[in-house]
Amino acid sequence: MGYVLYSLSFISLILATALYFTRHSWLHRLPIPGPLYTRLPSSFREDIEAGLSSSNFDLSANVEAGDSRQGLDDNGKREVQAIMKRRGVGFDEARRMWMQDKFRKNGIGADGLPRDPKFVSFS
């Protein structure tokens, strides 16, 4: 009986370790609800009130024109707000950091050119 218990414990420890090290590939597929208190704004007016607008990224023209769209992208808003909260920066700086991170993940350099070694550019 002791060997069975030991074997099950050892197998579950190995499985837990493997799941922990591969969590980035499967964790996003779990239906984990976000915190209830951080409801994202759903219109341009609410985006402005939430601080997701600045002189460089002005949403007031959308509000004045009566734009009926639902505002900015929910995933982008969530990530920009997380950067603003985590690093204590303003909206413009957080948006810049978010865009640079997206560019880096997609293989685009700071100069705007792809980092693909097969890329050919004629100027």
pLDDT at 87 exceeding the cut of 60: yes
- Per the CB < 8 A criterion, the answer to whether 87 and 94 are in contact is yes
Has residue 28 been placed in a domain?
no
The residue segments making up the domain with residue 95 are 40-110
Has residue 97 been placed in a domain?
yes
Closest CA to 80 of 50, 42, 111, 112: 50
- The total number of structural domains that make up the chain: 1
- Per the CB < 8 A criterion, the answer to whether 74 and 40 are in contact is yes
Q: Poorest-confidence range of 10-24, 41-55, 71-85, 102-116?
A: 41-55
Has residue 15 been placed in a domain?
no
0.95 exceeded by the pTM?
A: no
Has residue 32 been placed in a domain?
no
Burial class (CB in 10 A: 0-12, 13-18, 19+), 55: exposed
Q: Could you tell me the pLDDT band of residue 20, with boundaries at 50, 70 and 90?
A: very high
Has residue 106 been placed in a domain?
yes
